[in-house]
């Protein structure tokens, strides 16, 4: 059977960067290239009901090999990579028996993956680390997940002695630009629940994520000759700095962790007559999330009162919500994943996602969908890495979940944890 590493390396060689500025779906043509490759591989390995729809969603079925009725489960990963960093000409580097120290990615340009700065590296001493060459991202987000699902399905096909129910898989486009679930056909998928293989550190299991919104702030100024500007010029950039300074200084990504929310200023474009600020707004707590949006609205109103109506225009756009609301009532689906992680010899790391996945949107579309580790770290940049052993463990967890659901007992569905969370 082809290894998960071999699959991973093949997939990351295809540049599937998504494009937030392109309204087409998918947003880049290269995503079709990987999707078609996956279809061919699924058919070759013997999966059933393999399909590629008009929106670039790949779906397939591993039929049940037991004679009793158990829930149909699913596994989902996305094929695109982040537009934040180039995914062209990925050149993976292997570091076997990692010694716990710094890893030089590009000696000529002094690009180093530092174990003192990225301390999680030390967790993988003695293992084989796959890194970039310092000039691209790696693509573990989420081609590690794709490779793990493909390898697990192949393993189950080649080992019919492992009993399991019906399993559905799906590979989605454009997750990195927030559209991964927009055209997902939940009814066609036909699973009772699913898991996204899109987490980070080995052992991670997540069923809570941020409530999320995007904000575009447009500040309109007036430009006149600076020599005669008194009481006439309105410098939009200076008003923009006032807007930025009015938000809580500590509520930014670099100063928050765990359940703490933030305002993240992601871009600034400005000149005297017009400045645009782009923010993302995040909070796990729904009430605090609403308070953050209201603060933006109030600040806009206050500055318009100070500088004149329509000086500031605010556009707020909802992005996704916390899946906890939909997962807690069916907490047994988390119990199963937790048990499979333990069965693989790992300590489950159950914690909130400081971000979102396709699973958060799918949960609100009627498909409860917690998130399981894929093994990568430092996503969306040149310092991305993934340990080989973490990907292998992810395959083991997928197989373990399949086995557990194949032994399903309806009594499991009354998880006491649902009352405690």
Q: What is the per-residue pLDDT for 209?
A: 92
- Please give the domain boundaries of the chain with CATH numbers for all domains: 4-208+323-420 (3.40.630.10), 211-319 (3.30.70.360)
204 is known as an active-site residue: no
Counting other chains too, the contacts that 295-303 makes at CB distance below 8 Å and 24 or more residues apart are: 295/247, 296/215, 296/217, 296/263, 299/243, 299/246, 299/247, 300/217, 303/239, 303/242, 303/243
pTM of the model as a whole: 0.88
Strands (E), 227-301: 262-270, 274-283
Do the Cβ atoms of 365 and 320 come closer than 8 Å? no
Of the candidates 141, 148, 174, 175, the residue annotated as catalytic is 175
Q: What is the per-residue pLDDT for 158?
A: 97
**pLDDT, tens digit (0-9, with 9 covering 90-100), for 27-39:** 999 999 999 999 9
29 is known as an active-site residue: no
Residue 83's nearest CA partner among 17, 28, 32 is 17
* Positions in the chain short of pLDDT 50: 419-421
Of the candidates 80, 204, 384, 392, the residue annotated as catalytic is 80
Do the Cβ atoms of 405 and 170 come closer than 8 Å? no
**pLDDT, tens digit (0-9, with 9 covering 90-100), for 299-346:** 999 999 999 999 999 999 988 899 999 999 999 999 999 999 999 999
């Amino acid at each position: 059977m082809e290894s998960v590493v071999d699959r991973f390396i093949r997939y990351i060689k295809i540049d599937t960067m998504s494009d937030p500025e392109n309204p087409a779906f998918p947003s880049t043509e290269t995503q079709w290239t990987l999707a078609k490759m996956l279809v061919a591989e699924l058919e070759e390995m013997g999966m059933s009901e393999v399909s590629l729809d008009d929106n670039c969603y790949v779906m397939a079925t591993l039929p049940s090999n037991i004679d009793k009725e158990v829930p149909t489960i699913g596994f989902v990963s996305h094929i695109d990579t982040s537009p934040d960093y180039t995914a062209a000409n990925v050149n993976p580097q292997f570091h076997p028996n990692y010694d716990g120290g710094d890893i030089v990615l590009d000696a000529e340009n002094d690009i180093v993956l530092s174990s003192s700065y990225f301390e999680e590296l030390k967790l993988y001493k003695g293992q084989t680390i796959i890194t970039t060459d310092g000039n691209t991202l790696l693509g573990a987000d989420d081609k590690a997940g794709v490779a793990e699902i493909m390898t697990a399905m192949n393993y189950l096909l080649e080992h019919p002695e492992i009993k399991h129910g019906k399993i559905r898989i799906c590979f989605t486009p454009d997750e990195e630009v927030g559209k991964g679930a927009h055209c997902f056909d939940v009814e066609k998928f036909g699973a009772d629940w699913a898991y996204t293989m899109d987490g980070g550190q080995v052992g991670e299991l997540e069923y809570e994520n941020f409530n999320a919104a995007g904000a575009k702030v447009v500040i309109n100024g007036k430009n006149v000759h600076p020599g005669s500007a008194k009481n006439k010029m309105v410098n939009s950039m200076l008003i923009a700095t006032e807007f930025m300074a009015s938000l809580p200084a500590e509520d930014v990504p670099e100063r928050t962790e765990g359940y703490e929310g933030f305002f993240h200023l992601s871009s600034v474009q400005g000149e005297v007559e017009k400045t645009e600020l782009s923010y993302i707004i995040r909070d796990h707590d729904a009430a605090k999330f609403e308070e953050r949006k209201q603060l933006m609205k109030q600040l806009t109103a206050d500055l318009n009162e100070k500088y004149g109506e329509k000086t500031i225009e605010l556009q707020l756009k909802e992005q996704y919500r916390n899946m906890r609301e939909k997962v807690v009532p069916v907490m047994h689906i988390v119990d199963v994943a937790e048990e499979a992680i333990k069965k693989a010899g790992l300590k489950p790391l159950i914690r909130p996602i400081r971000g979102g996945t396709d699973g958060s949107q799918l949960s609100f579309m009627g498909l409860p969908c917690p998130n399981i580790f894929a093994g990568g770290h430092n996503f969306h940049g040149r310092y991305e890495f993934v340990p080989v052993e973490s990907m292998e463990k992810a395959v083991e967890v997928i197989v373990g979940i399949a086995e557990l659901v194949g032994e399903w007992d309806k009594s499991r569905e009354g998880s006491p944890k649902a009352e405690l969370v």
